Amino acid sequence: MVTLYDKTFLPFISNKDILAAIDKVSKEVNETYKDAKDTPIVLIVMNGALMFAAELLKRLNFNMEVMSVKLSSYQGTNTSGTVKEISPITGDVAGRSVLVIEDIVDSGGTVEHLEEMLQKKGASDVKICTLLLKPEVYNRDIPLDFVGMEIPNRFIVGFGLDYNELGRNLKDIYVLNR
Cα–Cα–Cα angle for 137, 84, 114, rounded to 5 degrees = 65
Give the strands of the sheet with 7-13, arranged side by side.
2-4, 7-13, 173-176, 156-157
* Active-site residue, from 6, 17, 92, 106: 106
- Residue 103 is a catalytic residue: no
- In sequence order, what are the residues at sequence separation of 6 or more whose Cβ sits closer than 8 angstroms to the Cβ of residue 79? 73, 106, 107, 109
Structural contact between residues 51 and 159, judged by C-beta atoms closer than 8 angstroms: yes
Residues counted in the chain: 178
Q: Which residues are the active-site residues? A: 106
